[in-house]
Every structure is written in structure tokens, then in C-alpha cells.
Amino acid sequence: MLDLFTPMPADAQSANRAAYRQFIFDRDGQPDFAMRTLSRREEGMRRYTRPLSTLREIDRSLFHEEYPRLKPRRTLSREALLLMTLVKINAAEAYGVERTLHLATQRAQSGPDEVELLLHIEESYHTRILLSTALLYGIELQEPFRPASSLRTLIAAIAHAPELVARALTFAGEIVGTITFLNVLDATREILRHDPELRDAIEERVLEVLTDEIGHISFNRMVLGPAGVASARLVLPIVAEAVARTMPVLGLLGVKTHSDDAAFISTSSRLPEVVRKAAFVA
Ligand SMILES: [Fe+2]
Ligand SMILES: [Fe+2]
């Protein structure tokens, strides 16, 4: 059971942190901090470059034309909107990771362990996994999408905020991200129900990312005390609104980033069985 808003007792934190560190090593393999790679994740990435039985059709020139825009100007099919969402959804996290990598590296040297740095590396796999969706349509995207400048400013401000504030906002961001991914998963199942092979290939990617995100939520709750958890809960609607505003493609697809407090509380019951079994929950 994923309990989002109950702070973890201080005496349980270090044991849980050690257990999570071991979980990451088991799941991800050996880290190479200089290359920012994880051995098992590298092996796993190979399956995402494997083509499907056929290349899926999409209006590629329209996709390339609309991709750099915050909000598409021309009408896109639901399938194209889904693809646009998948390749852009990790943009804020990718940018956040870029801005805080040096802090995570410092903390890995001076703090209790390298867990935070490992999470940063996991995020770079999220970007790669989600970008690989485009390959199924014959579109190659190498770089993560750059978020809107207003969002970049917000992320940079969070990165340099006092640690408690930064952590509370990061925790809120992980929760909103997870709910958004769950909603994207529902959209994938609905939009691609005519194409089970493609649907399964995309589902596999989203489920892999979701599994990591549950660990990230658990970790952030672990390191935040009662004040941090309470602050995160307060800012959740603001973070959800910010994500929706800065990623209008989500709205076009009908994907919500948040509805109400109950939506956050029910996150745990919405987790697919495969995620529940594979994720680190504390
Ligand atoms: Fe992520
Ligand atoms: Fe995350």
C-alpha cells in the first residue's frame, strides 16, 4: 500500500533507505556514474529499439512541424496526440535532473549514500524509454523536449530553493507525474485498442517508468519529515495545474494531471498489478 501523506517515522527511515538502495542495485544493475548508465537498464533498453512487425503510419511531416510547439496549431489525430504526449511528458523531469545533477553528485559524496544520484540516472532512462516510442512510427528523437521557458524558470527556482522546499516540491512533482502516467496509460489502452501489438509495446514502456516513479515517491516520502509531507500536500494542486498549463497537449488528449485530493489518495488502488509487484513501496 502506497501511503502518500503519512510521514515515515524517523526510526524507520534509514532501514528503508538501505532497503531501497539494495532494490535499485538489484533492479538496475551496476552504475557507471561517469557515463551515467546502469548495466541492467542498458540491457533492457535494447528491446525498445527493436522494431514491431510493421512500422506504424502517422503524418510524420505534420508531427515534426508541431513537435517544437507548446500547443499544436493544426489538428492532430488522437494517436498523434498520444505520441506527442509520450515524447514530451518527461521533459520537465529531464530538465530538473539536468539542473540538479551536480547537487545529487555532491550529496552522493558527502551524504549517506548515492541513492539520489541513482534516481537521477533512472530519470535519464525514462526520457530514453519514452522517446523510443517514436521509433515505432519511424521517427527518431534523440534529445528530450525542452520545456516552456516559464516551466524552466520554475524548475530552476526549485532546484536552488532551500532543501526542504525543493524536496517537498519534488515529492509533489513525482506524485503528479505518477497520476499523469496512470491517466496516460488509460488513454493508451483506449486509443490503441485496435492495435494490440503497438498498445502492448507502449504499455510496457509506461509501466516500466511507473514502476520507477513509485520508488521515487517512496524515497521522497522517506526523506521528508512531517512538515515536508504536509507542505507537499498543500502544493500538489498548484504543481498539477502548472504541469497542465505547461503541457497543453495533455489537455487536448483529455489527460488530467489532477482532479482533487481524493484522486491523489486513490493513486495506490489504481496501480496496475505488475507495477505493484515490481515497485519499491515504503
Ligand atoms: Fe521519471
Ligand atoms: Fe521520478
Residue 31 CA from chain centroid, whole number: 20
- Percentage of the residues of the chain whose pLDDT score is greater than 90: 68
pLDDT attached to residue 33 = 94
d(CA 74, CA 52): 28
pLDDT attached to residue 249 = 94
Q: Which residue has the cell 503541457?
A: 247
- Percentage of the residues of the chain whose pLDDT score is greater than 70: 97
Q: How many CA atoms lie within 13 A of 206 on its CB side?
A: 27
Ligand nearest to the CA of 173: 2
pLDDT attached to residue 261 = 65
Helices 163-191 and 149-159 cross at an angle (nearest 10°) of 140
Tell me how far the alpha carbon of residue 254 lies from the centroid of ligand 2, in angstroms: 22
d(CA 41, CA 67): 27
Ligand nearest to the CA of 216: 2
pLDDT band with cut points at 50, 70 and 90 for residue 122? very high
pLDDT attached to residue 154 = 83
d(CA 25, CA 279): 13
Question: Under 8 Å CB-to-CB from 266, ≥6 apart: which residues?
Answer: none
Tell me how far the alpha carbon of residue 20 lies from the centroid of ligand 2, in angstroms: 14
Tell me how far the alpha carbon of residue 239 lies from the centroid of ligand 1, in angstroms: 15
The region of weakest confidence among 6-10, 154-158, 164-168, 265-269 is: 265-269
pLDDT surpassing 70 at residue 259? no
pLDDT surpassing 80 at residue 22? yes
pLDDT band with cut points at 50, 70 and 90 for residue 276? very high
Tell me how far the alpha carbon of residue 213 lies from the centroid of ligand 1, in angstroms: 6
Contacts within 8 Å (CB) and 24+ apart, 34-42: 36/120, 36/121, 36/124, 37/121, 38/118, 38/121, 38/122, 38/125, 41/122, 41/125
Interval 189-245: pLDDT, tens = 999 999 999 999 999 999 999 999 999 999 999 999 899 999 999 999 998 998 898
Name the residue type at position 138: G
Q: Which residue has the cell 525542452?
A: 146
- Region label for 241, one of left (φ > 0), alpha (ψ between -120 and 50) or beta (otherwise): alpha
Q: Which residue has the higher pLDDT, 266 or 119?
A: 119
Task: Report whether 133 contacts 203 (CB < 8 A).
Answer: no
Interval 76-102: pLDDT, tens = 999 999 999 999 998 888 888 888 888
Tell me how far the alpha carbon of residue 112 lies from the centroid of ligand 2, in angstroms: 20
pLDDT attached to residue 224 = 92
Tell me how far the alpha carbon of residue 212 lies from the centroid of ligand 1, in angstroms: 7
pTM of the model: 0.94
d(CA 161, CA 128): 28
Quick one: average pLDDT of 39-63?
96
Query: Mean of the per-residue pLDDT values for the chain?
Result: 92
Tell me how far the alpha carbon of residue 61 lies from the centroid of ligand 1, in angstroms: 28
Ligand nearest to the CA of 90: 1
Q: Which residue has the higher pLDDT, 234 or 2?
A: 234
pLDDT surpassing 80 at residue 185? yes
Ligand nearest to the CA of 172: 2
For 251, other C-beta atoms within 10 Å of its C-beta total 13
pLDDT attached to residue 279 = 96
Quick one: average pLDDT of 239-262?
85
pLDDT surpassing 80 at residue 258? no
Ligand nearest to the CA of 170: 2
pLDDT attached to residue 98 = 86
Helices 226-246 and 196-223 cross at an angle (nearest 10°) of 140
d(CA 37, CA 125): 9
Nearby residues for ligand 2 (ion, Cβ within 5 Å)? 174, 213, 216
pLDDT attached to residue 157 = 86
Name the residue type at position 255: V
Of 120, 116, 100, 99, nearest in space to 108 by CA: 116
pLDDT attached to residue 263 = 67
